[in-house]
Amino acid sequence: MLMNKAISDLQKALTPDNILSKLEERYAYSQDASNIPEYVGLPDVVVFVETINQIQQVVKIANKYKLPLICRGAGTNTVGACIAEHGGIVLNFSKMNKILEINRENMTARVQPGVIVGVLQNEVEKLGLFYPPDPSNLAVSTIGGSIAQNSAGARTFKYGTTKDYIIDLLVVTANGEILRTGSNTIKNATGYNLGSLFIGSEGTLGIVAEATLKLVIKPQASKVIMAYFDELTDTTNAVTSILEQQIAPATIDFMDQNALITVEKYNPIGLLTDKKAALIIEIDGLKSSIEEQKETITKVLRHSNASAIQYSLTDEETQKIWQARRSSMAACARLKPNITTDDVVVPRENLPRLVEGIQEICSKYKLTVCMVGHVGDGSLHPQIPLDFNDKEEYKNYKLAKSEIYDLTIKLGGTLSGEHGVGREKREHISKVINTTALNYMREIKKIFDPNNILNPYKIF
Ligand SMILES: Cc1cc2nc3c(=O)[nH]c(=O)nc-3n(C[C@H](O)[C@H](O)[C@H](O)COP(=O)(O)OP(=O)(O)OC[C@H]3O[C@@H](n4cnc5c(N)ncnc54)[C@H](O)[C@@H]3O)c2cc1C
């Protein structure tokens, strides 16, 4: 009854083709890329918005009927962050996908929330500019989703995460007001940094309706070095030695042997599958500096027991290596009917212990695990293929996950470096965020969303 009234209000506010209310249409929005069977939630209605004013109207309707309102970009988050657990309205931004302005002189871009990260990157690169945040699925994930999850990727080590590139947001608040968090300037020391509250808030505090992003200069050239190792600890030792040479590679990514084997089988590009681990090191900068960086790093790698080294000779080869690395989850998905991924992060020096510990845990629970990660910043993605219909395997998977989190914490790490908390990790959050901090977070939520309509019960 209540929902019928809400849908009738939505019909007055939006055009009919912007409202999906049939079961089969809503079903398509009942999951995200977390792929976990119990993370399913059927929204009562899905709406597409085309303007900020329409977002405000939808928010006001959700508030009037106290309905959950769940923002959805591409639905590729891996933690159940946009599951409509309690029904309600899913707000789809795929029709708000315009790059509104690229300002070459100020080196900024103003975009709508539904812009695809990879599309923005390509557009700014045509002008010699660079938007570095690079979640592996940048070909589909949106700016709104990446702001709400504070997404990051291989380039974090040198260039930072999404939060380092947000200079201004237009946020629609839970009562339909428009809140501006920053300015068009790169620097801003004027008042509280409200923008940082919304970045990583997983759609629980406000709705990102427009974002102004900082851009940097696109490096003139880049090259990838792949170094293979027979011992895990040699990988992190090699990284430390590279940094001691005062070279900051754009990426220092990691693949364990299972990931090398699985990816090579899926997408053969000549990865050496008999090695225990590989580092993917991308160097960038002035054209004239690339050879010198390459030679110095090669010397260090040899010194650090790298047992084989490969180089990309052309941009196409560089792209092939990254495509292979980014396809690791798809490659693992071929091993079993279902695929899961995780995201844990430790201080870099503890990464080999985390990798070995996760291998032991998975072997104890008879689970296959392929690990990729960003060694530069200590983050790791254990990808576990499994069959959800195999009850024993699923139970083991849950136990293994809990042990992986405990190990991560023991090694001084935390539960997410980039994928967020969502539905998946909320039951573990008090292990890493103390009660006082959690209480403040709850108070902040109440201030911004007194009726608890925005993505309710996510994160904590
Ligand atoms: C194969 C694969 C690889 C991945 N690799 C990476 C990686 O390398 N690094 C990384 O960080 N993540 C990675 N992810 C996770 C995922 O890509 C990111 O979380 C991504 O940024 C989510 O974008 P999205 O558009 O799909 O957002 P969605 O999944 O649709 O939404 C994510 C969250 O953002 C909220 N939201 C969406 N739009 C808005 C808005 N306008 N205002 C407020 N809240 C909003 C949603 O409510 C939800 O809480 C990967 C996922 C997959 C499937």
* Ligand 1 geometric centre to CA of 74 (Å): 7
Where does the chain hold its CATH 3.30.70.2740 domain(s)?
Answer: 335-422
The CATH code for residues 221-326 is 3.30.70.2190
pTM of the model: 0.96
Q: Can you give the pLDDT at residue 106?
A: 97
Q: Which atom of ligand 1 is nearest to the CA of 151?
A: 11
Where does the chain hold its CATH 3.30.70.2190 domain(s)?
Answer: 221-326
Supply the residue whose CA is at minimum distance from atom 28 of ligand 1: 75
Max CA pair span of the chain: 71
CB of 181 within 6 A of ligand 1: the answer is: no
**Pairing of the two strands 216-217 and 129-130:** antiparallel
CB of 68 within 6 A of ligand 1: the answer is: no
CB of 76 within 6 A of ligand 1: the answer is: yes
CB of 54 within 6 A of ligand 1: the answer is: no
- 335-422 carries CATH number 3.30.70.2740: yes
CB of 31 within 6 A of ligand 1: the answer is: no
Q: Can you give the pLDDT at residue 435?
A: 97
Cα dihedral across residues 262, 265, 267, 273: positive or negative: positive
Residue 226's region, left for phi above 0, alpha for psi from -120 to 50, else beta, is beta
CB of 144 within 6 A of ligand 1: the answer is: yes
Q: Can you give the pLDDT at residue 315?
A: 87
Where does the chain hold its CATH 3.30.43.10 domain(s)?
Answer: 2-92
Q: Can you give the pLDDT at residue 35?
A: 85
- Report d(CA 229, CA 460) in Å as an integer: 40
CB of 152 within 6 A of ligand 1: the answer is: yes
CB of 80 within 6 A of ligand 1: the answer is: no
* Ligand 1 geometric centre to CA of 400 (Å): 24
Burial of 400 per CB tally in 10 Å (0-12, 13-18, 19+)? buried
Q: Which atom of ligand 1 is nearest to the CA of 206?
A: 43
Q: Can you give the pLDDT at residue 253?
A: 95
Where does the chain hold its CATH 3.30.465.10 domain(s)?
Answer: 99-217
Instruction: Tell me the sheet residues that pair with 90.
Output: 46, 70
Give 2-92's CATH code, choosing from 3.30.70.380, 3.40.50.1000, 1.10.3720.10, 3.30.43.10. Answer: 3.30.43.10
Q: Can you give the pLDDT at residue 261?
A: 97
* Ligand 1 geometric centre to CA of 77 (Å): 4
CB of 168 within 6 A of ligand 1: the answer is: no
Q: Which atom of ligand 1 is nearest to the CA of 138?
A: 17
CB of 456 within 6 A of ligand 1: the answer is: no
CB of 48 within 6 A of ligand 1: the answer is: no
Q: Can you give the pLDDT at residue 324?
A: 87
CB of 82 within 6 A of ligand 1: the answer is: yes
Q: Which atom of ligand 1 is nearest to the CA of 143?
A: 25
* Ligand 1 geometric centre to CA of 356 (Å): 28
Q: Can you give the pLDDT at residue 40?
A: 87
CATH topology of domain 99-217: 3.30.465
Residue ranges for the chain with pLDDT beneath 70 = none
